């Protein structure tokens, strides 16, 4: 299983996303900086996804999102 956390910038803000699954190849199709995230077109279902406008985004929100959404098997996550 793979756990991946992403902060993807779009023109209007930042998408905070958490992915869990067995298919590592989905990482090849993640949106690039400046792109909108549309799961239906990506073929990826994020476990959690949160949009924060550019005016409201703070680095602390990303850190909090990572703590809330990171999953590790065997106790290796912190």
CA distance 28 to 2: 14
CA distance 47 to 62: 16
Query: What would the pLDDT profile of 13-63 be if each residue is shown by its tens digit?
Result: 988 988 777 766 666 666 666 666 666 666 677 778 899 999 999 999 999
Instruction: Please give the helix or strand (H or E) that residue 65 lies within, else none.
Output: helix 59-69
pTM for this structure?
A: 0.68
Residue 17, phi then psi, degrees to nearest 5? -130, 145
Q: Using the 8-state DSSP alphabet, how is residue 35 labeled?
A: P
Burial label, 65 (beta-carbon count in 10 A; 0-12, 13-18, 19+): buried
């Amino acid at each position: 299983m793979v756990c991946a956390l992403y902060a993807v910038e779009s023109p209007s803000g930042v998408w905070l996303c958490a992915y869990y699954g067995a298919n590592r190849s989905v990482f090849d199709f993640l949106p690039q900086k400046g792109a909108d995230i549309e799961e239906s077109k990506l073929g990826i279902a994020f476990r959690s996804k949160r949009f924060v406008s550019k005016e409201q985004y703070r680095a602390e929100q990303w850190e909090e999102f990572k703590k809330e959404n990171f999953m590790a098997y065997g106790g290796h996550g912190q």
